[in-house]
Chains A and B, each alone.
Chain A
């Protein structure tokens, strides 16, 4: 894709317009600060020692940078009675998020493909019902889901959490892929049918390679949702199988000893880093994917 050359903007000249532009940029700058300040304070605080936090002000830069808080948050902060830091819980989250994202994305892709390219009677009804699932609040499914997990013998396990996230994510992943495939010409699928490919042959060889932007959007969306989820994590896992969000809460809300703000801040940043990383790595596809279908080309 080539970027078009900037076309330039025709705008009126004069003192009044210049002042308005300065005002405009001042407002925009203020908003930027407003959004960046929390991140700055978190970063700065996490790099200070506890003494410095007690004596200095909230917005001051650290006088002496120390990574002790980061090391502690990662490796030795106490989560409940266990003092191994966030490390084991990060691993729990990874174990949960990777299969949950992979399975829900794969199933969403097949659903979207079947709903748009192999239209069957009632396809729209089924899609409407699936879409309804996207609007069910988490709280509503907590009890039935707990019962289901109990019956399946998956209560309190990472596997159980994977199942919950996969099922809950299907509505969204199906929606993403269905909308993407709506924009794919039916002719391509018909041509592949005549060329002799079957349902899964067309899916894997023709349709899925075209769906890269939709895959990226879905993966980022699902990764962010599942990684950041707290409610399902706290409801369906216990102690050692907690995801990192629950562990973070336990670190921050610990009621014993001194409040270690630097460790809390470092832990919060650590817990949020993976989603940031995924967005940075795949972000350009994300924006492209969201606009997919809007413009032909």
Chain B
């Protein structure tokens, strides 16, 4: 087990800057998920920690050791790759043993470690097969097994589940979480799937364009996004972001114009002070789909606000039904109970809990509360 510390880490490929000065401190035993859109630098950052890429600047510590110039094999890490990267000409047993063989681990220890990990991952019966004879899920298990047998201080996962089908992905997700709870090792896990990030992480780092936009607990990331990027990236369907103008109309309100009639959302009380300087100017209102429900579905709170819209599309997902409507020039989505029968083209009255609303500065993109 070990902590990891990144200090002003830079990575350039030629003139392209991929990682732009990242500072990060990972505690021992934490499960850190790096999440972001493709090209944001998350895999590069993982490769830098692994030592598969050289740093252009900054320092990386694993435990108390500065590892800038230490090759991957001596960093006490193991990595699971998106493509599994199993050695195709070797049996499962030899795949898992390879790291121990190159390190001259005694035969008896190899046998014990292999048996233990094979049991943990339920792959005892596959040991004599070649990777080509395994299914996707089995390959995934072997790839994890290969990482586990060496008992490294840090595990690095590079989108390990993205090649699996949906059902298997959820199973393996649970399994990875269980493994982490059981082994308590430090894990750095890269994914573009924000649901994986939310379910697995002790802390999530949302990355964009070589920067970390926000680094915090899943709850922080979801409930208190620092800016428009994080707000829009995390959550599925993503947060509705309405642009409107701040007006004084029986209290401070955000007027969102629309051909079907403007809607005046009351600005949440806790944001009044921050929003007042914007009077007459634009702000962006962020509402998660689940914050918009059928009128009367919940007991009205002190900040409940109601409005109606014509529904354009109805998308039943099973547990919820998504209602798509247009407001302020964007396609907005509300998440309602499947019992709330609704047909396309009719009016639907939404209750919005404004207490959960987020407000963003349209120029800086920052969340209003965090401006001050």
A→B interface (CB under 8 Å): 185, 187-188, 190-197, 201, 205-206, 209-210
B→A interface (CB under 8 Å): 47, 50, 52, 71-73, 77-79, 81-90, 98-99, 102-103, 146, 150
Task: Tell me if A185 and B83 are in contact (CB < 8 A).
Answer: yes
Taken together as a complex, chains A and B put the C-alpha atoms of A40 and B64 apart, in Å, by: 79
Q: Contacts of A210 on B, CB cut-off 8 Å?
A: 88-89
Q: Contacts of A188 on B, CB cut-off 8 Å?
A: 83, 85-88
Q: Contacts of A190 on B, CB cut-off 8 Å?
A: 47, 50, 52, 72, 79, 81, 85
Q: Contacts of B50 on A, CB cut-off 8 Å?
A: 190, 194
State whether A193 and B98 are in contact (beta carbons under 8 Å apart), knowing that A185-B83, A188-B85, A210-B89 are contacts in the complex: no
Report 16 cross-chain contacts, Cβ distance below 8 Å, ordered by A residue. A187-B81, A187-B85, A188-B83, A188-B86, A190-B47, A190-B50, A190-B72, A192-B87, A193-B71, A194-B99, A195-B98, A195-B99, A196-B99, A197-B73, A206-B90, A210-B88
Q: Contacts of B150 on A, CB cut-off 8 Å?
A: 195
- Closest CB in chain B relative to A120 CB, distance in Å: 12
Which residue of chain B has its CB nearest to the CB of A189? Answer: B85
Taken together as a complex, chains A and B put the C-alpha atoms of A190 and B73 apart, in Å, by: 10
Task: Tell me if A209 and B78 are in contact (CB < 8 A).
Answer: no
Task: Tell me if A195 and B89 are in contact (CB < 8 A).
Answer: no
Taken together as a complex, chains A and B put the C-alpha atoms of A185 and B158 apart, in Å, by: 14
Q: Contacts of A195 on B, CB cut-off 8 Å?
A: 73, 98-99, 102, 146, 150
Closest 3 CB pairs of A and B: A187-B85, A195-B99, A196-B102
Task: Tell me if B71 and A209 are in contact (CB < 8 A).
Answer: no
Task: Tell me if B81 and A209 are in contact (CB < 8 A).
Answer: no
Residue of B47, B71, B85, B89 touching A191 (CB-CB under 8 A): B85
Taken together as a complex, chains A and B put the C-alpha atoms of A188 and B77 apart, in Å, by: 16
Pick from A187, A193, A194, A206 the residue with the most CB of B within 10 Å. Answer: A194
Task: Tell me if A191 and B102 are in contact (CB < 8 A).
Answer: no
Task: Tell me if A194 and B89 are in contact (CB < 8 A).
Answer: no
- Closest CB in chain B relative to A141 CB, distance in Å: 36
Taken together as a complex, chains A and B put the C-alpha atoms of A197 and B88 apart, in Å, by: 16
Q: Contacts of A187 on B, CB cut-off 8 Å?
A: 81-85
Which residue of chain A has its CB nearest to the CB of B50? Answer: A194
Taken together as a complex, chains A and B put the C-alpha atoms of A188 and B90 apart, in Å, by: 12
Task: Tell me if A197 and B98 are in contact (CB < 8 A).
Answer: yes
State whether A194 and B102 are in contact (beta carbons under 8 Å apart), knowing that A187-B81, A188-B87, A210-B88 are contacts in the complex: no
Task: Tell me if A196 and B103 are in contact (CB < 8 A).
Answer: yes
> A194-B50, A194-B77 are known contacts; what are 13 more A-B pairs with Cβ within 8 Å?
A185-B85, A187-B81, A187-B85, A188-B87, A190-B47, A191-B79, A191-B146, A192-B98, A194-B52, A194-B73, A195-B102, A195-B146, A206-B87
Q: Contacts of B86 on A, CB cut-off 8 Å?
A: 188, 191
Task: Tell me if A194 and B79 are in contact (CB < 8 A).
Answer: yes
- Closest CB in chain A relative to B234 CB, distance in Å: 28
Task: Tell me if B89 and A209 are in contact (CB < 8 A).
Answer: yes
Task: Tell me if B98 and A194 are in contact (CB < 8 A).
Answer: no
Taken together as a complex, chains A and B put the C-alpha atoms of A210 and B77 apart, in Å, by: 26
Residue of A185, A194, A197, A205 touching B78 (CB-CB under 8 A): A194
Q: Contacts of A205 on B, CB cut-off 8 Å?
A: 98
Taken together as a complex, chains A and B put the C-alpha atoms of A207 and B261 apart, in Å, by: 66
Pick from B47, B78, B85 the residue with the most CB of A within 10 Å. Answer: B85
Which residue of chain B has its CB nearest to the CB of A297? Answer: B132
Taken together as a complex, chains A and B put the C-alpha atoms of A191 and B78 apart, in Å, by: 8
- Closest CB in chain B relative to A42 CB, distance in Å: 42
Taken together as a complex, chains A and B put the C-alpha atoms of A225 and B24 apart, in Å, by: 58
Task: Tell me if B73 and A193 are in contact (CB < 8 A).
Answer: yes
Taken together as a complex, chains A and B put the C-alpha atoms of A252 and B146 apart, in Å, by: 63
Residue of B52, B87, B88, B103 touching A193 (CB-CB under 8 A): B52
- Closest CB in chain A relative to B53 CB, distance in Å: 10
Task: Tell me if B73 and A196 are in contact (CB < 8 A).
Answer: yes
Taken together as a complex, chains A and B put the C-alpha atoms of A24 and B102 apart, in Å, by: 60
Task: Tell me if A191 and B81 are in contact (CB < 8 A).
Answer: yes
- Closest CB in chain B relative to A182 CB, distance in Å: 15
Taken together as a complex, chains A and B put the C-alpha atoms of A205 and B150 apart, in Å, by: 19
Q: Contacts of B103 on A, CB cut-off 8 Å?
A: 196
Task: Tell me if A193 and B72 are in contact (CB < 8 A).
Answer: yes
Task: Tell me if A197 and B83 are in contact (CB < 8 A).
Answer: no
Taken together as a complex, chains A and B put the C-alpha atoms of A203 and B79 apart, in Å, by: 20
Which residue of chain A has its CB nearest to the CB of B104? Answer: A196
- Closest CB in chain B relative to A109 CB, distance in Å: 15
- Closest CB in chain B relative to A70 CB, distance in Å: 43
Q: Contacts of A192 on B, CB cut-off 8 Å?
A: 87, 98
Which residue of chain A has its CB nearest to the CB of B88? Answer: A210
Pick from A185, A195, A205 the residue with the most CB of B within 10 Å. Answer: A195
Taken together as a complex, chains A and B put the C-alpha atoms of A190 and B50 apart, in Å, by: 10
Q: Contacts of A197 on B, CB cut-off 8 Å?
A: 73, 98, 102
Taken together as a complex, chains A and B put the C-alpha atoms of A210 and B85 apart, in Å, by: 13
Q: Contacts of A191 on B, CB cut-off 8 Å?
A: 79, 81, 85-87, 146
- Closest CB in chain A relative to B89 CB, distance in Å: 4
Taken together as a complex, chains A and B put the C-alpha atoms of A195 and B47 apart, in Å, by: 15
Taken together as a complex, chains A and B put the C-alpha atoms of A124 and B139 apart, in Å, by: 34
- Closest CB in chain A relative to B47 CB, distance in Å: 8
Taken together as a complex, chains A and B put the C-alpha atoms of A273 and B85 apart, in Å, by: 42
Taken together as a complex, chains A and B put the C-alpha atoms of A191 and B50 apart, in Å, by: 10
Which residue of chain B has its CB nearest to the CB of A195? Answer: B99
Which residue of chain B has its CB nearest to the CB of A201? Answer: B102
Which residue of chain B has its CB nearest to the CB of A197? Answer: B102
Taken together as a complex, chains A and B put the C-alpha atoms of A200 and B354 apart, in Å, by: 63
Q: Contacts of B89 on A, CB cut-off 8 Å?
A: 206, 209-210
Taken together as a complex, chains A and B put the C-alpha atoms of A185 and B81 apart, in Å, by: 11
Which residue of chain B has its CB nearest to the CB of A187? Answer: B85
Taken together as a complex, chains A and B put the C-alpha atoms of A209 and B130 apart, in Å, by: 13
- Closest CB in chain B relative to A201 CB, distance in Å: 6
Which residue of chain A has its CB nearest to the CB of B74? Answer: A196
Which residue of chain B has its CB nearest to the CB of A211? Answer: B89
